Structure 1
Amino acid sequence: MGMVFGEVADTYDDVRPGYPEAIADAVRDYHGGAPERIVEIGAGTGLGTRVLLRLGAPVTCLEPDPRMAARLAANLPQVTVHTETFEQWQPPERGVPLIAAALSWHWLDPATRNQRAHDALTPGGTLAVFGHTYGYADPAQSRAIDTALRTIDPEVTSRPAGWFHLDIAASGLFADVRAHTVDRDLALPTDRYLDLVRTFGPFRQHAAAQQARALAAVRALVDGFGGAIVLRLRTTLVLARRPH
């Protein structure tokens, strides 16, 4: 599933919302300054990488989809890109002081992701996991959009905001687990919102005919809302430390 985004790499890079600068500030404060090195898991086209670069440290990005990796390398030539999964990557013997994952934690093997991250960190190193939860400013619009998207996936369920906070804390491997949230509204006209929907993983799992039906239904709804929809975007950052 993690390879489906490469088919829409350019659209993904254009329409997916980036991350608030406050993410970098919170990571720096928690870590106690700039780390010597950062490794980012599932970097995509670099939306999270841009925030990590604000820390002023060299960044190595793991991105298994070659199409996403190519766009990432073109966007941010100053980073090192490895076209491999977190599971394939071999961390340096002494570990990494900061490992980050921006909207990619759910793509990792739930049975091993916390242990792998713990083992890849230096003692005292920082794990920074962050991502968006997409909501809607208008509850009526939210219900209508949800109904339309369920025409192609009646069983789809959404992970609760900050679910990875519980996942990381419940592993028992990390100390000083903290969560920060940033809320903001983002208005999108119909076509741009449809482009965003085209980049969602559950949407991309379905056949082209099913996708077309769902997009037509969503277009009619958003046009009926006045040609725009307001997303309520919650960005959650979870920070954790490998004990010494």
Structure 2
Amino acid sequence: MPTLPREQPEPSPVKPHESRRIAESFGVDVQRYDRSRPGYPDALVARIVAGSPGRDVLDVGCGTGIAARQLQAAGCAVLGVEPDARMAEFARARGLQVEVASFEAWQPAGRTYDAIIAAQSWHWVDPVAGAVKAAQVLRPGGRLAIFGHAYEPPIEVAEPFAAAYRRVAPGSPLARQPARRPLDFYQAAYAKVADKIRVTGQFDELEQWEFDWQQTYTRDQWLNLLPTTGGLTQLRPDQLAEIWDAVGSAIDSLGGRFTMTYATLAATAVRANTP
């Protein structure tokens, strides 16, 4: 969707993991982020746990701990690695152990894990260096699971958003993106993630998973979520207000709510037993 640049190619040569200013901007309003962002399907969490040799989990780019808390509830011991100190502090206050660093710079100090997860955060990690480091930190048979939500609001909401975004931020790469993307666009992005994992030669059983579900949003719920997305975290209040007006009016025209169809996609692999 246009508000989430995570798997969308930018016309400039800057890659997402090089855009540190955006990558570390999500902590502007951690309360809103944690309250508004959706969790992950229970079936995904159960499959990660069942497909890992143990319960020690490393969460790369853990944010406020949304995915980590779900893994904890499933009986896992989770360590988060998060570059934004504001998000790390929030996650710690809710019972998660977090170390502040980018994954590339993080020092494992000899620690290894049964699973490494990255919930809507791997696009901020160098895809080659990240896959190599994951192989170093995972125990033999350990699982790497990179996942996130693909979702597009109905066209009645997506088009007013895109038009308003083009008006308030004409210089942003997102302003040149279409209002909606087909699902196969996101599926192809996760296939590229799998390719980067494969070339390390350290992983077996590469798979792509998909979990489909729906969630209904009221006008207020959707407007609360919008400012937590990558394209909007750095906008001025007046720019946000113009987008809110356009999107709010669009949702009002639909009766004040709409139902979103989600596809939670994952690229996953198992650490080979060979050194």
Q: TM-score over 0.5 for the alignment?
A: yes
Q: In structure 1, what is the equivalent of residue 11 of structure 2?
A: none
Rate the CA distance shift 1:233–1:189 in 2: closer, same or farther, 3 A.
same
What does residue 164 of structure 1 align with?
Answer: 190
- Choose from 172, 175, 178 the match for 2:204: 175
Runs of 4+, deviation exceeding 6 Å:
none
Pair 232,150 (structure 1): closer, same or farther in 2 beyond 3 Å: farther
Identity of paired residues, percent? 30
Superposed counterparts of 1:15-30, under 5 Å: 15-30=36-51
Who is 1:5 aligned against? 26
8 A Cα contact 1:97 1:126, kept in partner: yes
Question: In the TM superposition, what are the counterparts of 1:94-173 in structure 2 within 5 Å?
Answer: 95-136=112-153, 138-151=154-167, 152=169, 153-156=174-177, 160-162=185-187, 163-172=189-198, 173=200
Comparing 16-25 with 147-156, greater Cα deviation is found at 147-156
Supply the AA of the counterpart residue of 1:228: R
Aligned residues: 239
Aligned to 2:102: 85
Q: Contact 1:23 / 1:51 at 8 angstroms: preserved in 2?
A: no
1:47-101 Cα deviation digits (max 9, x unpaired): 11122224423111112212211211122x1x31112221221124263221111
Q: Distance in 1 between matches of 2:156 and 2:246?
A: 16
Larger deviation: 157-166 or 50-59? Answer: 157-166
Any idea what SS the aligned residue of 2:80 has? strand
Task: Mark the runs of 5 or more structure 2 residues left unpaired by the alignment.
Answer: 1-21
Shift in Å at residue 144 of structure 1? 4.1
Aligned Cα root-mean-square deviation (Å): 2.2
What is the deviation of 1:14?
A: 0.6
Q: What's the counterpart of residue 241 of structure 2? A: 212
CA distance in 2, matches of 1:27, 1:14: 24
1:38 and 2:57 matched: yes
- How far off is 1:31 after superposition? 2.1
What are structure 1's unaligned runs of at least 5 residues?
none
- Structure 2 contact 223–248 (Cα < 8 Å) conserved: yes
